[in-house]
Structure 1
Amino acid sequence: MIESLISRSRRLPGAIITTALLTAPALLAQDAPADKSALQKYVLDGGWTMIFIGLAVLSLIALSVFNFINLTKAKFAPDDLKMALMDHMTNCRVRSAIELAASHPSYLGRMMAYSLPNIDATRPEDLGRDQIEDAIADFSINENRKSMTWVNYISLVAQAAPMLGLFGTVLGMVGAFSTLAESGQANPTQLAGDIQVALLTTLWGLMTAIPSLIAYFFFKNKLNSLVADCHHAAEDLINASVQTVNQDAYLAKIPEGIAT
């Protein structure tokens, strides 16, 4: 008889969980009271864990707005600055190009103001391209870290939201088992509130994590694209100046046309 009781006690938690999971959809699908709003039914009934999930949602919105404003072409490689710098570099007005770049707050302006002083006029064949490119790389490493920090915070939200949902799920199941221990029987009506907490926190955790993951990769790719655009512009500026300095040598390599 003792062995039979032990066997039944071992099977009890599994039976309780199965009963709770099978009856949860039906319980949650029941019509709410007339005075129960959607906010109460789908948010507030999730318990105090919803406060942290709500903070995660607000953080996602704030970070997305900030990155939308910060990661723009006007703040990285504006067309007017590229055209003005190209005019200076084509005419070998390096000092004027440095002054213009230093006065512009964009990524490209600050990058060129940092790297153009490394031009070596004693090397007309490439104007010290390797030193310029090293300076561009150093600037990009330091500057990208700052911009990427705000993008990485979105990744943090994407990773934290499911964990918060799981935390709420565990709390709901603990409450369900506490109710079961007090009542002494698996009454689905008494378990409905705790099961609702478990399911709502899981739902909102996933609803926060999925958009966060999409936003993270979107802004990460956008940042990489803007930085690459700045690097291509810098390469064009250096090539324009080198070609102007070595214009005679370039023309000497062009074969004459054949008269028809």
Structure 2
Amino acid sequence: MHTRNNPSMIQTLLRGFVRLSACALLLAGNLMVVAPMHAQEPAAPAAGEAAAPEVHQHTLMDRFREGGWVMYPLTLCSVALVWLTVDLWMRTALKNMAPPGQVSQVQDLFRAGDYVGAYQFAKNNNSYFADVSRVGLSFVGEGQNAVEEALFSELNKTNATIQTRINYLSVLGVCTPMIGLVGTVTGMMSAFATLGTSGVGDPSKLSGAIGEVLVATASGLAVAVPAFMVFYILRNRLQGSMHGLQEIVSSLFRKMPYEHLKDAHVGEEEFYAALPNWVAGGNDGAAVAVAV
């Protein structure tokens, strides 16, 4: 009798163990599926607990206030950067330095031999090409060397005038990081003062001081980097435009008949130099010459 019941009991135990194992595996699988779903959902606040604060998105004005007082001079520098960039980009364009209409008109007057008319046209028009041409025409009576020296001097003057304005971009590129560094130093001083008075118990004040440090530094660099980039771009652009202007003006005065224009006074500039007074004074001039 015991020999019959023992196999049946063992089979019963085995079936129970298999069923229990299957239930455990099924439960574990359900937990693995449900757990990530609950992990993605924010936990609901329990009764009596305050809801978690929402994350505040900082606007541009918030960043401006965080930067402190240095944001005001940096804003002025950024406005100056934009204004200089637009102004110098227009000034360094060859078509603005030597307008095609003015070049064509002066060329026609040169072909007709009307140098007085060319001088009047250059005087009545405002451009770097007109200024250089006017100066060159006012020296045609002095000979070729005088004209070339006058053109060279006027071209250098034009280049120096524009280059001086371009150099202001380099000044902005150097000064704005220093202004941001001043804001960094003042922000660090404020942060250490906050640590000295309230310690780390008030993180909002400490974060505000640290925010001033970071925003001031970043703002200074944000103005300096474009300023240096525009500085080098405009400097190279100016060199190319000056070469073009020099070629246009040189082509005008090439083959100039200086022998027919000797001692001619084309321009309207007044000459102040005259003969020495003792040459016209006769005996009085001799006395002056002795005194000298």
Q: Normalising by the residue count of structure 2, what TM-score does the alignment of the two structures yield?
A: 0.63
Deviations 1:51-86 (A, max 9, x none): 111111111112222223433334311122222322
For the pair shown, the structure with the greater C-alpha radius of gyration is 2
The residue that corresponds to 2:263 in the other structure is none
1:238 aligns with 2:259: no
- Aligned equivalent of 2:101: 80
Q: Of 74, 87, 90, which aligns to 1:53? A: 74
For 1:81, the aligned partner's letter is Q
CA distance in 1, matches of 2:205, 2:123: 69
- CA-CA distance at 1:199 after TM superposition: 0.7
What number of residue pairs does the alignment pair up? Answer: 207
Task: Judge conservation of contact 2:94–2:244 (CA < 8 Å) in 1.
Answer: no
The aligned amino acid for 1:51 is Y
The question of 1:136 aligning with 2:151 is answered yes
Taking CA–CA contacts closer than 8 Å with sequence separation of 6 or more, which of the two structures ends up with the larger relative contact order? 1
Matching residue within 110, 127, 138 for 1:106? 127
Is 1:119 aligned to 2:140, yes or no?
yes
- 2:276 is equivalent to residue 229 of structure 1: no
Which segment is superposed worse, 145-154 or 202-211? 145-154
**Is contact 2:78–2:223 with CA below 8 Å preserved after alignment?**
yes
- CA shift at 1:101, angstroms? 1.9
SS at match of 1:241: coil
Matches within 5 A, 1:170-185: 170-184=185-199
Q: CA RMSD in A?
A: 2.7
Query: Bigger shift: 168-177 or 141-150?
Result: 141-150
Cα 1:46–1:87 change in 2 (3 A) is same
Please state how far the C-alpha of 1:187 moved relative to its aligned partner: 7.5
Aligned partner of 1:215 among 230, 244, 263: 230
Separation in 2, partners of 1:175, 1:136: 59
SS of the residue 1:48 aligns to: helix
Q: How far did residue 204 of structure 1 move? A: 0.8
Q: Closer, same or farther in 2 for the Cα pair 1:237/1:129, shift >3 Å?
A: same
The Cα shift of 1:109 comes to 0.9
Shift of 1:33: 4.6
Q: 1:166 and 2:181 equivalent?
A: yes
Deviations along 1:107-143, one digit per CA (max 9) or x if unpaired, are: 111111111222248xxxxxx3321111112223333
Offset of 1:216 from its aligned partner?
Answer: 1.5
Q: Equivalents in 2 of 1:62, 1:199: separation in Å?
A: 27
Note the C-alpha offset of 1:153: 2.0
Structure 1 distance, partners of 2:68, 2:117, is 63
> Counterparts of 1:98 and 1:153 in 2: how far apart (Å)?
34
What is the TM-score of this pair, normalised by structure 1? 0.70
Please give the alpha-carbon distance, in whole angstroms, between the structure 2 residues aligned to 1:186 and 1:92. Answer: 88
Going from structure 1 to structure 2, the CA distance change for 1:32 and 1:220 (only over 3 Å counts) comes to: farther
Change over 3 Å in CA distance of 1:97–1:40 after alignment to 2: closer
User: Which residue of the partner structure matches residue 38 of structure 1?
Assistant: 59
Letter in 1 for 2:67: G
Which of residues 208, 214, 221 is equivalent to 1:193?
208
Contact persistence 1:158–1:212 (CA under 8 A): yes
**In the alignment, does 2:164 pair up with 1:156?**
no
Equivalents in 2 of 1:220, 1:147: separation in Å?
Answer: 9
**Can you list the C-alpha shifts for 1:209-239, whole angstroms capped at 9, x where unaligned?**
0111111222222233222222111111111
- Report Cα offsets for 1:150-197 as digits up to 9, x if no partner: 222222211111011111111111111111211345976652211111
Unaligned runs of 5+ in 1: 1-30, 122-127, 246-260
2-side partners of 1:212 and 1:60: how far apart?
7
Conserved 8 A contact 1:90-1:237: no
Q: Return structure 1 stretches of 4+ with deviation > 4 angstroms.
A: 184-190
